[in-house]
Amino acid sequence: MTDRRRINGPPSGTRPAVFASSLKSASNISTGRPRRQRQPDELRKIFLKTGLIPSASGSAYLEFEPSASLAAARSNPQSLIPPSSALKLACTVHGPKPLPRSASFSPNVVLTTHVKYAPFAARQRKGHIRDASERDLGVHLETALRGVIVAERWPKSGLDITITILEAEDDRWWGDAPDSHDAPWGMMNVLAGCITAASAAIADARIDCLDLVAGGVAAIVSDEPAEGESSTPKLMLDTDPAEHKSILSACVVAYMPSRDEITELWLKGDHSKASLGTTDQNLNHESLIDGAVNAARGAHTVLAEAVKESAARFAGLPTNANLA
């Protein structure tokens, strides 16, 4: 039954049409794929700001810098469809607050996570009710944060963490034909961003934690080789799925640098030697996890600076005060 109180969007995808005049030739579709301009171990720049939503106990906004190819396409567009997307999300924390009288006694705080895509966040329009992928992201986020929060400080209390994804990472480049076995690679970048933003929002809400937890992503990719080069799988940190022809496996971790602990680990894909087609002993699941941990350490530096600014704002100090 349709909701008569709002104008519902189309149930299918909202991808704009491509006209023949917008493409010079059919070969532009294959050559329009964005190319990675960063080094394999180089991360994208992250913008992280806390305290943007006054009505919440704590809040944070996170945004990834778009790739160089995306910025060039926006300045000189050749098609109505952008080559890739950039991650943008907002996180709010409400609580700790008392549980209802009808709730059973809990010696620890009851953590509730809610991850929701905006209807316009992805190329495929999302509905108003959470689907399976959004519920999976909420479960992964809750697992990552349970090992960080000191839950016994607030008995019979609830803590609600809500994340709204304004722009999500693509699972593949729009020019690639959809495959029935296409894995949701973009969800892994979204989860890493949710973990980092939620940690900043929790610190902004002055909730006791063991450490700041940051999310990091690493992947083993196999791209089209250039002239005179061989196609060999490579380990990439902070991958954009739209920039790679084939992603063999990926890993996302929630990492606490000070305690050197991992609170959440998600591996996807096949990283066996047979599937990689290489004899390189460095490409295995251990190197994939180490790469994700290195990416999380890079995100932790931005997270620590954002938390320092939040503490300075709470203490009434100038934002650029040196709290080290």
- Summarize pLDDT for 131-168 with one digit per residue, the tens: 889 999 999 999 999 999 999 999 999 999 999 999 98
CA distance 237 to 240: 9
CA distance 221 to 33: 15
Closest C-alpha to 133, from 82, 168, 109: 168
Position 273 pLDDT exceeds 50: no
The average pLDDT across 270-298 equals 75
Q: How confident is the model at residue 181 (pLDDT cuts 50, 70, 90)?
A: very low
Q: How confident is the model at residue 68 (pLDDT cuts 50, 70, 90)?
A: low
What are the structural domains, with CATH classification, of the chain? 41-174+181-315 (3.30.230.70)
- Please tell me which of 12-26, 122-136, 176-190, 216-230 the model is most confident about, judged by mean pLDDT: 122-136
Read off the pTM: 0.84
- The tokens describing 191, both together, are 């989860």
**The pLDDT of residue 169:** 86
Query: 49 burial class (0-12, 13-18, 19+ CB within 10 angstroms)?
Result: middle
- Summarize pLDDT for 81-96 with one digit per residue, the tens: 666 678 999 999 998 9
**The pLDDT of residue 120:** 87
**The pLDDT of residue 306:** 94
